Amino acid sequence: MVKCSTIKRKAQTLRLIGRELTALLRRRLPAQVCGVQLGRLLGPARRVRVTPLSKDDKVRLRGEQVLLDSQYLSRNYDQADERSRAACMLYFLHELIHLAQGIGAKKTVRGIRSAGAEHTLLHCDLHADHGAAGLLHRLIPEWSVPFLKDVQGYALAAFPSTAGHTDGAKQRKRLRVLAIRADYWARQLGMVTEGRQAGYLFVEYAQPRGPLLLYRSGPPLTLLGTVRLRPQEVAILDRASQPGKPLPMSGLDHLLIGILRRQQPPQQT
């Protein structure tokens, strides 16, 4: 009886999120955001059906339907929680943007990883994150881009590194978390203004001690500043998305705020 009740609740949850995502796609879609032409990508597809997908795929287009894998949504959607709703919509748009990038099929992603292109996948994810936030803000203007990027940072807790990931995959996941949180805090600190500076922010840093470089993806790709890191700061950054015991978000945020405030603009010759 308990199992039957659980199955019914899960089915109801999937219907609710399906209806909400369908309503989202039936809003007036922007012609283009971050290079993504969502209307052209979708074609006639506007009705979202949330269902388990095979082959680890996350989203597929089938005529007038968008099929979205149910695994993440069934665990994280709460109609009464604004941040939960936003996270699920961001996830949906992120996966749609992967279709526009040509990497919607999981087998394609595996091919990229087998070529050792984890850094390319990192930027595919960061572009999809940034595009999803921009699209959702245009569709639901009361949700600001900084709010949505904050939601994205916390939502990444659902995709941690594990002992089974390669070193390259662990680094990709760590740099994605650092990029999204640095992007969020740069906006909160007034370092980035929407509409004036295009693209997402990302960071690179050297181990065990060296500079942290802060970039804006552009175009044009731009170095915004550098910070000399202390060894203990590098050790803390390395714990972001760490398997088993990841760094708490509050600790990461505290460190990133201090780093961003210390950044120096690049020298001009």
DSSP string, 185-228: HHHHTTS--TTTS-S-EEEEE-SSS-EEEEEE--SSPEEEEEEE
**Selection from 135, 183, 143 nearest residue 33 by Cα:** 135
**How do the domains of the chain map onto residue ranges?**
175-269
Residue 41 has pLDDT above 70, yes or no: yes
- 186-216 tens-digit pLDDT: 999 998 876 645 799 999 998 777 799 999 9
Query: Which helix (H) or strand (E) is 69 found in, with range?
Result: none
Residues 6+ apart with CB under 8 A from 24: 89, 92, 139, 140
What average pLDDT does range 148-161 have in this prediction? 90
Residue-wise pLDDT for 51-83, tens only, equals 999 999 999 999 999 999 999 999 999 999 999
Q: What is the pLDDT of residue 7?
A: 67
Average pLDDT over residues 101-121: 94
CA–CA gap between residue 190 and residue 57 (Å, rounded): 38
| Burial (CB count within 10 angstroms: exposed 0-12, middle 13-18, buried 19+), residue 1 | exposed
Question: What is the predicted pLDDT for the residue at 242?
Answer: 79
End-to-end Cα spacing for the chain: 74
For the chain, the farthest-separated pair of C-alpha atoms sits apart, in whole angstroms, at 74
pLDDT value, residue 5 = 63
Using the predicted structure, report yes or no on whether residue 182 has a pLDDT greater than 90. Answer: yes
Taking the C-alpha atoms of residue 214 and residue 235, their distance in angstroms, rounded to an integer, is 18
pLDDT confidence bin for 245, thresholds 50/70/90:
confident
| Section 151-172 average pLDDT | 88
Confidence (pLDDT) at 268: 79
Q: What is the mean pLDDT of the chain?
A: 92
Residue 115, pLDDT score: 93
Share of the chain above pLDDT 90, in %: 77
Please, are residues 137 and 143 in contact by the beta-carbon 8 Å criterion? yes
